[in-house]
Amino acid sequence: MKKTYQGGCHCGAVRFEAVIDLAAGTSKCNCSICVKTRAWMAFVPADAFRLLSGDESLRDYQFGKQVIHHRFCGQCGVRPFAHGVDSKGNKFYAVRVNCLDGVNPQELIDAPVKYMDMLHDDFRSTPAETRHL
């Protein structure tokens, strides 16, 4: 069921809200940045995400093909979300579920996880090993 969640970075400078259906699934991937930052994401379309405050505190990091903007707070360093454009030209947000406020732990326990092999640019395939993600 879709629900509006609020969240943000550790210091509170960056705040957002997003309409997410955790029961519809979350994602983890094995690309070089997601492995290092232990990213656990829920993907939402642009119209389901709203930055409430902190645009001036956000910094941007891109690597590789530079298609995803990995946003992080310039004050505390936390990465609350990323954004990009899919192959059909639709803007999306990848919200870090660990940055959502007040989520019932059972919602996260029950949320299905899809693993993506982005180390090999293949979001449709599951990596051979996922236990470390």
pLDDT in tens, 15-36: 999 999 999 999 998 888 889 9
The H or E element containing residue 60 is strand 58-61
For 65-115, the pLDDT digits (tens) are 888 999 999 999 999 999 999 889 999 999 999 999 999 999 999 999 998
At 76 the pLDDT is: 98
Assign domain 3-120 to a CATH class. Answer: mainly beta
Comparison of pLDDT for 66 and 57, the residue scoring more: 57
Comparison of pLDDT for 112 and 122, the residue scoring more: 112
At 105 the pLDDT is: 94
- CA 46/CA 43 separation, integer angstroms: 10
β-pairing verdict for 26-29 and 113-116: parallel
- CA 71/CA 39 separation, integer angstroms: 12
- CA 51/CA 14 separation, integer angstroms: 8
pLDDT at 130 over 70: no
pLDDT at 124 over 90: no
- The first and second tokens of residue 78, run together, are 């936390």
Q: Residue for token digits 């093909």?
A: 65
